[in-house]
Structure 1
Amino acid sequence: MPPSEKELTVAAEHTTPPAEPAIFVSVDDSHRAELVLTGDIGAATLRELEETLDAPPLAEAAEWVVDMSGVTHLDLACAYALLRAATLRAKPAELTIRGARRAVRRTLRHAGLDAVATIVE
Structure 2
Amino acid sequence: MAAELFSTPPPGPVMAVSTPHDGRPAEVILAGEIGTEALRELEEHLGAPPLREATEWRVDMSRVTRFDLACAYALLRAATLRPKPAALTIHGARRAVQRTLHHAGLDTVAIIEER
TM-score by length of 1: 0.83
Which residue pairs with 2:53 in the alignment?
A: 60
- Unaligned 5+ residue runs, structure 2? 1-7
Give the superposition deviation at 1:20.
1.6
Task: Pick closer, same or farther for the CA change 1:37–1:18 going to 2, 3 Å.
Answer: closer
SS of residue matched to 1:28: coil
How far apart, CA to CA, are the structure 2 residues paired with 1:74 and 1:17?
A: 13
Taking only the aligned residue pairs, the percentage that are identical comes to 68
How far apart, CA to CA, are the structure 2 residues paired with 1:55 and 1:39?
A: 21
Task: Please give the residue correspondences for 1:12-51 in structure 2 after superposition, counting only pairs within 5 Å.
Answer: 19-29=11-21, 30=23, 32-51=25-44
Which residue pairs with 2:104 in the alignment?
A: 111
How far apart, CA to CA, are the structure 2 residues paired with 1:68 and 1:17?
A: 10
Give the superposition deviation at 1:17.
9.0
Q: CA RMSD in A?
A: 1.6
Number of aligned residues: 106
How far apart, CA to CA, are the structure 2 residues paired with 1:18 and 1:35?
A: 16
Per mean C-alpha deviation after superposition, the further-off stretch among 16-25 and 70-79 is 16-25
SS of residue matched to 1:45: helix
Shift >6 Å, 4+ stretches: none
- Unaligned 5+ residue runs, structure 1? 1-15
Per mean C-alpha deviation after superposition, the further-off stretch among 55-64 and 65-74 is 55-64
